Amino acid sequence: MIVYKGINHPNLCDVMGHMTTRHYVAMFDDGSYHFLHTVFGWSAEHLTKEKTGWADVRHVIEYQAEVAEGDLLEITAQLLKIGNKSITVLYEMQNVSKKALAATLESTSVYFDLEARTAIPITSTMKATAQKYLIET
């Protein structure tokens, strides 16, 4: 599923003229909110009503090809794993302008109680809803 579309504006580039690391992470992070909404129905309302959220606990980023100023970018996401308290998602950033894979992010996130500040079990309803998005391995 497509979770993000954007452009590498000049202000997102570092002194070497390509997109800097901090902005890759920001784009992947923005896409993760769309992913969580699509797969689990999670939104900012859960922050205030249920006091639940998600906390990233592991990121593995692989930079595949340089992203230059003006390149159009698109990020897709695939649910790789649903655990008892965590999910693992693979995000792929495509450089639409150059028709090339720019970067990947494998992210593990835990379902999080915002008051207790600890990981909590993913509900059976959430697991059932997300099942259709799970990639067969």
- Work out the average pLDDT over 7-20: 95
Segment 69-77 shows an average pLDDT of: 97
Q: Show the 3-state SS of the chain.
A: CEEEEEECCHHHECCCCEECHHHHHHHHHHHHHHHHHHHHCCCCHHHHHCCEEEEEEEEEEEECCCCECCCEEEEEEEEEEECCCEEEEEEEEEECCCCEEEEEEEEEEEEEECCCCEECCCCHHHHHHHHHHECCC
| pLDDT, average across residues 28-47 | 93
Range of the domain at 31: 2-133
pLDDT at 7: 97
Q: Across all residues in the chain, what is the average pLDDT?
A: 95
What's this model's pTM, rounded to 2 decimal places?
0.94
CATH number at residue 93: 3.10.129.10
Examine the pLDDT at 25 and tell me if it is beyond 70: yes
**Number of domains within the chain:** 1
